[in-house]
Amino acid sequence: MSTGMDQAAERLSLAIDRLEAAIGRQAGARADKDSLETEIQALGADRARLADLLDKSEAKATQVKTINRDVSQKLVEAMETIRSVLHAEAGGA
């Protein structure tokens, strides 16, 4: 037969166990939060790097389009010159 003192000791022991479990959960939650914050910072850095890369790629694409347009125009001019020369050599008709 347990005495009131034994019951109180058992309740105290259970309360301590629950408190230790709660502290463990809180420590785990804090570690999870810290891990998430670190991951968010890494994602932010990746986003900034990717945005910079995209800006550079867009600038390069614009430059390539401009060069392509210039080369295309020069090819058209060269073909017209060749046609004129061939036409003049063929009798200018």
Which tens digits make up the pLDDT trace of 7-64? 999 999 999 999 999 999 999 899 889 999 999 999 999 999 999 999 999 999 999 9
How far apart CA 30 and CA 23 sit, in angstroms, is 10
How many CB atoms are located within 10 Å of the residue 84 CB?
11
Please tell me whether residue 93 adopts helix, strand or coil conformation. coil
Q: Residue 92 corresponds to which tokens in the numbers above?
A: 């200018």
Predicted TM-score (pTM) of the model is 0.54
| 93 pLDDT more than 70 | no
User: Which residue matches tokens 């259970």?
Assistant: 14
pLDDT tens-digit readout, 67-76: 999 999 999 9
- Give the Å distances, CA to CA, from 70 to 31, 63, 75, 82: 58, 11, 9, 18
Tell me, what's the pLDDT at 4?
Answer: 86
How far apart CA 56 and CA 26 sit, in angstroms, is 45
